[in-house]
Amino acid sequence: MQGTSTTINGLDMEKLAGLVEAIERDPRAGAAGFRVATSWTGGAASTTRVFDWAIGGERKVRGFEFKSDEPTELLGDASAPNPQELLMGALNACMMVGFVAGCALKGVRLESLDFVCEGELDLRGFLGLSESVKPGYERIHIEVRVRGDGTPAQYEEVMEMVRKTSPNYFNITRPVVVTAGVKAV
């Protein structure tokens, strides 16, 4: 007799449990690596290619690409989201999948979920016009708008879990070693 799989919020709970069990048995199974390359396409525009990723030492082909450009006011053609919008979108998406999974693990069914992220930066920092002005954000705010059969307390519990476990939330809110080198080709 085949078991039936339970799906909550579009997630296969059997697969989620299997993933957790596999990583608990062998922590190396949870090692995940990602790789992208971004090429300049002229002006302020670029295209990023997502090659593959690895989980537990096994490479998986992805084959996606996405574009970036700046608004016309920042010398772009406004043909695609700019890097700040992509950064915010990546933060939202990463936190959202954690929120969806956290709700599913609590048996909370979602009807709708939106993460709205906003921040303001001072272009004087980006343009190098003032050493006292940081080139990035002083503050980023995310508003989560959720509708489902959960209680406000359940949603807060899930959000607290997301703050503790989201890789992109971690990467944005804590220092991460980033190295960058130049290779003339």
Residue spans per domain, the chain:
7-80, 81-174
For residue range 52-93, list pLDDT tens digits in order: 999 999 999 999 999 999 999 999 999 999 999 999 999 999
Measured distance CA(54)–CA(35) in Å, rounded: 9
Measured distance CA(33)–CA(67) in Å, rounded: 22
For residue range 8-63, list pLDDT tens digits in order: 999 999 999 999 999 999 999 999 999 999 999 999 999 999 999 999 999 999 99
Measured distance CA(137)–CA(121) in Å, rounded: 5
CATH topology of domain 81-174: GMP Synthetase; Chain A, domain 3 (3.30.300)
1 pLDDT tier (thresholds 50, 70, 90): very low
Residue 4 has pLDDT above 90, yes or no: no
In CATH, what number does 7-80 get?
3.30.300.20
Domains 7-80 and 81-174 share a fold: yes
Name residue 128's amino acid: G
